[in-house]
Amino acid sequence: MIRIRVRMSARPIDEPHRAASQLELLFDLTFVVAVAAVTAQFAHFIADDHALAGLVPFLQVFFAIWWAWMNFTWFASSYDTDDVVYRLLTMVQMAGVLVLAAGVPAAMGHADFGVVSLGYLIMRVGLVAQWLRAGLEDPERRRTAFRYAGGVAVLQAGWLWLAVADTGAPPSALALPVFVCLAALELAVPRWAERARPTNWHPHHIAERYGLFAIILLGESVLAASRGVAGALEAGEVNGPFVVVAGSGLVLLFALWWLYFLGPAGEGLSDRRHRSYLWGYGHYGIFAALAALGAGLEVAVEQSGHHVAAAPLMLGYAVAVPVGVYLVLLWAVHVLVSAEPVIAPAAVLGCVAVVLTLPLAAPLIGVAAVVAAIAAVCVLLVAVTIWAAAVRSARA
């Protein structure tokens, strides 16, 4: 039964059977809308042969989405009371996510971050209120909580200033440096706040939450590819390349899912809590790569049915580059929290080298064949990794 109010105190870091709550799952669903919006917009840039021009807006908007999710996830791992006040403040943050999602087309298409900034403001109001409540009700970590609240509030003022001061299209020369500076300060807030006293985040809960968000992004890639299928079907052409690229894209996503869940991140985070910052921040690149891959697959499927402006070489790299980034960063975060690397570095580097070389053949063999080859390389990496783990287990 839901309680009206529970005193907010730090949850135990060794709490047994800690799992994502129904409220956290609902919270994640609001991010499905935001990620779908940014993926669809990036796909338009790729199809129009403006992928490089759309890359920076994509990374900027995705940072806002990822960081908002991060802020809530780590707070909830430490202070989830699941009472009425907590639920209402979390729902305020959900509303902010939906507003942000509504502003994605204007932000990426016209450099108008007004609606995105409004959504971000709504989210941060809910988050600051949560941290203030934690500071008032948890005396042992009051200084930490107030540092979080103060840091978030000050930087939110900076984001609002940037949104108001730079409303033109194209944005001014100072817009990107200011954005990078504010983003760097955002990343520094947790490190600064936790110096007062660390929060009691739960390692297995955090690992589960990150895994769930990875599944969401893989699901978004499936959705993006299905939009490409719909576009190709509307053109009335179901041909061999269409079937190959659609099937290969699905196999590729299966392989990337398999690779992500090879290592038990919860145990590693429990033993190496001091590496949680690098592990958590490294996932920005992993998650962004999955979102970008969804956009690339969407256009790759769509072009098999009708003409798009992007050349085959560009379409090949729209799939290959996200896969390469994903593999390298996934290996890196595994190394951070694993006593023994789950994926051999030589295997990763070899696969990445092949994946990034394959698009060069796209003008000769076609985009569908390139996507199929990339999927085959990733499936081979899964097989080699499983085989190597079996050999180590037999020797132990």
Q: What is the DSSP string of 339-382?
A: SS-SS-HHHHHHHHHHHHHGGGGHHHH-HHHHHHHHHHHHHHHH
Q: At what angle do helices 22-47 and 276-303 cross, to 10 degrees?
A: 50
Q: Which pLDDT band, with edges at 50, 70 and 90, does 165 fall under?
A: confident
Assigned CATH topology for domain 203-395: I/LWEQ domain (1.20.1410)
Question: Which of 82-96, 102-116, 224-238 is the least confident region?
Answer: 224-238
Question: Angle at the Cα of 242 (from 369 to 259), degrees rounded to 5?
Answer: 60
Q: How confident is the model at residue 231 (pLDDT cuts 50, 70, 90)?
A: low
* pLDDT at residue 232, as a whole number: 62
> What is the torsional sign of CA 272, 275, 277, 278?
negative
Cis ω for the linkage preceding 203 (within 30 of 0): no
Residue 66 is predicted with a pLDDT of 95
Q: What is the rounded end-to-end Cα distance, in angstroms, of the chain?
A: 48
Q: How confident is the model at residue 239 (pLDDT cuts 50, 70, 90)?
A: low
CA distance 328 to 323: 9
- Kindly tell me if the per-residue pLDDT of 218 is higher than 60: yes
Structure confidence at residue 233 as a pLDDT band (50, 70, 90): low
When pLDDT is cut at 50, 70 and 90, the band that residue 221 belongs to is: confident
Radius of gyration of the chain (CA): 22
- Residue 85: CA count within 13 A, CB half-sphere: 14
The mean pLDDT of 41-49, rounded to a whole number, is 92
Examine the pLDDT at 292 and tell me if it is beyond 90: yes
Question: Who has greater pLDDT, 229 or 29?
Answer: 29
Tell the burial category of 394 from Cβ atoms under 10 Å away from its Cβ (0-12, 13-18, 19+). exposed
- The alpha carbon of residue 265 and the mean position of all alpha carbons in its chain are separated, in whole angstroms, by 17
pLDDT surpasses 60 at 389:
yes
CA 50-52-57 angle, to 5 degrees, is 95
Within 8 A by CB and 6+ apart from 57, the residues are: 41, 107, 108, 111
The pLDDT score that the predictor gives to residue 305 is 67
The arithmetic mean of pLDDT across residues 278-286, rounded, is 95
Residue that has been written with the tokens 């791992």 in this structure: 77
Segments of the chain assigned to CATH 1.20.1410: 203-395
pLDDT at 395: 75
- Burial label for 51, CB within 10 Å (0-12, 13-18, 19+), is buried
The SS3 call for residue 127 is helix
Instruction: Tokens for 166, please give them.
Output: 């730079």
Residue 307 has pLDDT above 80, yes or no: no
CA-nearest of 334, 326, 321, 317 to 266 is 334
Asked whether the beta carbons of 258 and 211 are under 8 A apart, the reply is: no
The residue count of the chain comes to 396
> Rounded to whole angstroms, how far apart are CA atoms 84 and 89?
9
Mean pLDDT of the 214-235 span: 78
Average pLDDT over every residue of 87-101: 94
pLDDT value at 14 more than 90: no
pLDDT of 394 reads: 78
* 45 contact partners, CB below 8 Å, separation of at least 6: 51, 53, 54, 55, 58, 108, 295
Mean pLDDT is lowest, of 71-85, 190-204, 380-394, for 380-394
CB-hemisphere CA count at 13 Å for 239?
12
* pLDDT tops 80 at residue 128: yes
Distance CA(247)–CA(228), nearest Å, equals 12
> What average pLDDT does the segment 186-212 reach?
94
- Number of Cβ within 10 Å of residue 357's Cβ equals 11
**Number of C-beta neighbours around residue 188 at 10 A:** 12
Q: What angle do CA 368, 370, 374 make, to 5 degrees?
A: 120
User: What is the arithmetic mean of pLDDT over 52-75?
Assistant: 93
Could you count the other beta carbons within 10 Å of the beta carbon of residue 208? 18
Contact 87, 104 (CB under 8 A): no
- The model carries a pTM of 0.93
Question: Is the predicted pLDDT of residue 358 greater than 90, yes or no?
Answer: yes
pLDDT-based confidence at residue 170 (cuts at 50, 70, 90): low
- Alpha carbon distance 187, 59 (integer Å): 15
Question: How many other C-beta atoms can be found within 10 angstroms of the C-beta atom of residue 67?
Answer: 17
Q: Does the pLDDT of residue 169 top 60, yes or no?
A: no
pLDDT mean over 288-298: 94
Q: Half-sphere exposure of 307 toward its Cβ, with a 13 Å CA cutoff?
A: 1
Neighbours of 109 (CB within 10 A): 14
Over residues 230-249, mean pLDDT: 73
